[in-house]
Structure 1
Amino acid sequence: MKKVTYLAILEPASTGYSVYFPDFPGCISFGETIDKANAMAQEALSLHYYGMEKDGDTIPSPTQTLDPEATKGNLVCPITIYPELYSEERRNRRVKTNTTIPAWLKEKAEAQGINFSRILETALLERLES
């Protein structure tokens, strides 16, 4: 499984740590502690990377070193993500969708304990595979 590591800058703030990635302008996050900042950085980077891939944008190569003067007073942390795993999780997450059926049909199905989501998913899969 592919993994990539990018450098994150954790900038101390009065209530925690602001996080940004030199390789991904606009990819920012925040955490109240270093551990939370790292976890939030991983989530932000995963989502940003996923969005860029989905949009067909060029993914930048990881910067290996940063200018010490530019990072003075901040923490530099390597953040590793697994883009394929994140993409698969996003694709398979459950999403809510609205459907409309006759009231009598809904009542009858509920009386029999039918799982609407399972029925819809099964029917859609059957339809798409035929």
Structure 2
Amino acid sequence: MTLSKDQYIYPAVITKNDEQLIVSFPDLEGCSTSASTIEEGFINAKETLAMHLYELEEKQEMIPEPSDVTSIKVDENQFVTLIETWMPPYRKKMENQAVKKTLTIPKWLDDAAKDADLNYSRILQDALKDELNMDENDRSFSVQEKLNKQLKKVKKSIRDLSKIRVHVNMADDEDTVDHEGTVSNSVKKEIENVKKELHDVADRVKNSDDYQRLNSKINHLLDKLNKK
């Protein structure tokens, strides 16, 4: 018995009947297929072997070692051959296959989404990948990667907020004095109002559920890293 690997080669017994060929794998119980021609038989055998091995991998079951071809005895209408399968492309195919999920949303939200012609499947996929910090090309989501991506989001938010404050402060320094050297009260008042609104927005961001959720995630991930 062996753990999963990328390439497998197993002996297969091909049985010739009047109407079709039967391909079976002595080492893998329940792993068999049929075909009308030898060529089709080899194609179906590779697909069936890959599917059977993928299921064993998903169940985390031990995979049997292949038998020696010379030890397999066959009848007159049978012959033994070797079937090879390369698992990486098949695993990718299985991982990308569509899985049906049922969800419940309020009717008013469903009506609004239909009116906007939104793609439920794509939105759900994007939301899940965002929540898991994953993308199309990189499906890994280690603790370190999660931490890095969360920190990037926080840093970006801080940079954006800093830019806004810089612009307001520059306006406060440059635009409040008119050409005669006197302070324009109206402009100064307007800038003060903008600064107040800015501080209010910053407070709301810090107190928002999204900010608290991200902050909690970062702390949780840091705890995991510290425990290693």
Q: TM-score range by the shorter chain?
A: 0.7 to 0.9
Judge which range, 65-74 or 80-89, deviates more: 65-74
- 1:68 deviates by 6.9
Alignment partner for residue 12 of structure 1, among 4, 16, 22?
16
| Aligned counterpart for 2:90 among listed residues 82, 86, 101 | 86
In the alignment, which of 7, 28, 34 is matched to residue 30 of structure 1? 34
Cα distance between partner residues in 1 of 2:60 and 2:111 = 46
CA distance in 2, matches of 1:124, 1:68: 49
Residues 95-122 of structure 1 show CA distances to partners (whole Å, capped at 9, x for unaligned) of 1212222222222212222111110111
Residue 49 of structure 1 deviates from its aligned partner by 0.9
| Greater gyration radius | 2
Q: Which stretches in structure 2 are left out of the alignment for 5+ residues?
A: 134-213, 215-228
| Alignment RMSD (CA, Å) | 2.2
- Correspondence 1:124 to 2:131: no
CA distance in 2, matches of 1:55, 1:64: 26
Letter in 1 for 2:102: N
Helix, strand or coil for the counterpart of 1:66? Answer: helix
- Which segment drifts farther, 63-72 or 22-31? 63-72
**Which structure shows the higher strand fraction?**
1
Q: Which has the higher helix share?
A: 2
Residue 105 of structure 2: SS of its match in structure 1?
A: coil
TM-score, normalising length from structure 2? 0.51
Distance 1:72 1:56 in 2: 37
Structure 1 residue 69, shift from structure 2 partner = 4.5
Query: Retained in 1: the 8 A contact 2:17–2:77?
Result: no
Residue 3 in 1 paired to residue 7 in 2? yes
Hey, what's the Cα distance between the residues in 2 that align with 1:96 and 1:55? 20
One of 90, 101, 116 as aligned partner of 1:97: 101
Contact 2:74/2:80, CA 8 A, preserved across alignment? no
TM-score of the two chains, using structure 1 as the length reference: 0.83
2:65 is matched by which residue type in structure 1? S
What do residues 7-28 of structure 1 show as CA deviations (whole Å, max 9, x unaligned)? Answer: 2111012321111012212211
CA distance in 2, matches of 1:73, 1:66: 17
Percentage of matched positions with identical amino acids: 30
Q: 2: CA distance between counterparts of 1:60 and 1:101? A: 46
Does residue 60 of structure 1 match 2:41?
A: no
